[in-house]
Structure 1
Amino acid sequence: MTLLRKLKNLKLNYTLLLRFFVIFVSLWLLAPAFPECNAQAVDFSYDENPDFSTLSYPEWQDSVIHVIGDHNYAPYEFLNEKGEPDGFTVAIIKAVAKVMKLNIQIELIPWGEVRTSVDQGTFDVVSGMYQTQQRDAIADFSIPHFISSYSFFVRKGTKIKNNEDFQDKVVLVQEGDLGHDYMIERYPETRLITFTDFGDLFLALSEGIGDCSFHSRLQGLRFLSSNEVSNVEDVGKAAIQQKYCMAVAEGNTQLLAILNEGLSIIKTNGTYDRIYQEWFGIYENTPFSWRRVMMLTMWIVVPLVLLGLIFFYWSWSLKKQVRKSTADLQEELKRSQTFQHELEVSQSKLENQNIQLQQHNARIASMNDELKAAKLKAEKNDNLKTAFLANMSHEIRTPMNSIIGFCELLEIEAQEPNVQKYTGIISNSAQRLMRLLDDIIDISKIESGVIGFSFSQMMVKNILIELYEHYKVETDNKGIDFVRQAEDVCEDFLLTTDPSRLMQVLNNLLSNAIKHTDSGTIIMGCSKQPDHLKFWVTDTGRGIPKEDLPHVFDRFYQAGNHHAGGTGLGLAIARSIVEYFGGKIGVESRENKGSTFWFTHPLSLQAGKLHG
């Protein structure tokens, strides 16, 4: 049953395919017989033409090219109902601009103003202009994009029947148009009435002004078809045929070459033909042509021959396909039976795997319960640690402040040098313990994510001067040159920051530099970058071994000399503060040559996540 069903489907598919082919061929055969239908079905869009340009004109591609034309010279160029440039030449210049990647601005104005711009050379491109010997002296013309015929139009019923009957008549022309120039040059005695607007000219002829008009034949035919004018017709043969081109200022050969290349491209890729058919196809009558008859015959005969060959091939191949399909179906049946067996085996394995999965899920649930209990215990321990640190801070700071205070009083009142020396040692040790306590509490707060920041605006100069004055005495006592090196634009910058935390970072870097420098120079500097300030501290001290550099910002890590004192927390705290500001911190060092510690601070502060 399955085999018979598939054979029927195979025959049905061939039948549908044959019917589809017959319909397609029929439509193909009928298409040439109805050119009007083809014209309606043509897709006139020309926005997706490929770019075939082979030259590069960056100076023109980066500038706006001003294109001017007549505002009322339909169908070539005119302002449509929306007041936008429209027409055959407008479509042509847009297509050229697209394939050549030009940035154009089209402005349609009265023809008299166009002629003035051409005479004065104050233009880039004229979208459409007839090429004459006189005009060629003041402008350069592209290859023609249209050959226009000029004819005489008269009111129906007049005695003017050919091109010779107008010589003693009154002729209407558009001022500055090719027809105007032609009549002045060839027939200077003829009386002319000029009109700025072509529409006014045609309506004037219809209403009885003048005897005839002389202008583009297509322009006249279009006006007759789109306006309620029925008493005007064209007579005689075309008086002149003239090239209608784009024009550029005299000597602008590069822009002319660009336009010529663009015209050649759109004529090659079919864009020009689509534009032409859109604007002029309905005004042209296709004459009888034996060649067209032969082409239509070929359209009919060749497909019929092909259809006969296809029928013959189809009948021969159908039997072959049936035999092949039968063998394929038998092979498919065998594979189906094998697959059914494998499916049964897989189903049995899957049942066993489901049991294992349930056991695995039970173990995961048990582990999750253990993790939750561990998490609760860790949170409890963290709370206990926080409470312990808070209590330790209070219990240790209070007596320590008393020790420091009384030591300072003893230093003032003591008369014996040894007493002053011992009280100084006690005071320094107490202050070191206070700093150690502060570091431990800061690290604890950083781990808990509760470290406090207080942001305000402060002049960078004030921070640097305060630090310089604070450490200047200590560096002078050690015989070290201490230099403040900062750009004016950096020092005068009003920075939004936490001043105490920023100074805490710089204090750590400066105290480390002084601690590890026995002689030479320490430089504290600042520079302004586009989006951040960069601070640095450079010393000529012992430097840091290369193997220690990746770890200098780790907690409790002391590089190089482990006898220099300290807890190994200062740089870790500095890194956390800088990263909270949204900056970066780093070090460059050579052993026995010195080190440079630097960090950045954003101009616009966006606090980040603390480094845990």
Structure 2
Amino acid sequence: MKKSQKFVATSLIVTAVFCVISAVFMAVCLDNIRNTSNSTINRLVSVLLEKYPDVSEREIAEILNDKAEYSDTSKVFNKYGINVKKDWLSYSNQGSEKYIVISVAITILFGAVFIALLCTYFKLQKSQTMEIAKRIERINLGDYSLQIDENSEDELSVLDNQIYRTAVKFREQAENSRKEKENLQKSLQDISHQLKTPLTSIIVMVENILDDDDMPLEIRREFLCDIKHNTSTISFLVQSLLTLSKLDAESINFKFANESIESVIAECIKNTAVMAEICNVSIETACNDVTLNCDKKWLCEALTNIVKNCIEHSQNGNIKITADHNKLYTKISIKDNGSGIAKEDLPHIFERFYKGKNSSDDSVGIGLALAKSIIEKQGGYITVSSEIDKGSEFVIKFFNN
């Protein structure tokens, strides 16, 4: 029960108890007054009968039940030395003053208890408010610990928890903002580093062509081919970095649909056919009529990058792509029999711009990072296992849920 509800319930109980006690006390007082009055009347009747034995009981009853009204009863009592404003009619009734004192005492006691409860409630409220203020101060100092055992269900505890959640949310936003700035800075450094080499080569070759008007046609053509190759590298690099940036910013809207894995792999083989032919690499598939809820375009992009990496390391070799489905997940495997990946390179193989020992000179180390990011954004994950001179296997799994 909330503290405010407890306070209201306690107040109502105290009030009810006070009303019951007051009612009982007043009933006792009235009964005592009635008994005293009856006793006084009995004495008067006894005295009357003793002095006037001729008076009948009927006459006495008429006198006691007389409804006549007296204009001023105080004058009648004053003749007998009784002041109705100060004195009681009967001597025994003088003890009734104690009932008034007791009533006043009970009322004061009730008021004191009620005020004590009210002060206790306000004190608890103030204590909780101070605790919340201290919590906010600790949060401002970087302490986000939450004392679960001190929580309750009252309004201030709910407010305290909401303040904690808001503070944690702001901290996460600040942390994400800091990470985004760090990632942006790192990306700019990586871009600068990756673009520096091809741009420098292009500038040098263009300057040689411009400075030497008599340069042989064969050398000039060779320079132009190198310039074209470097510009293609820069274009691929920039496009990949832009794609990675969009994935990091979650600005790419994936269009999910039930797609045939066989059609996705067929598109991937089509994209790498020229490269596979140049490297004399054969590609086999076994998809077993598997379907997957995915974005076909982006999944094909990821698989193409993985297959390209396998082709680069499998000169005159073979690549086998399989797909399988069970009750838990859908699995895609891409396995080659190439040069493999060094053991020390395996933990870093999906890092951006990382180039392993067996990487080709043309590799920029971004294809696998891009593939991993695309797969994870679609709810899957990728792993790799490899042995030197025995090949590598990339395994992609998408859980059914």
TM-score category of the 2 structures, normalised to the smaller one: 0.3 to 0.5
Q: Greater strand percent: which structure?
A: 1
Q: TM-score with structure 2 length normalisation? A: 0.45
State which structure, 1 or 2, has the greater radius of gyration over its C-alpha atoms.
Answer: 2
Q: TM-score with structure 1 length normalisation? A: 0.31
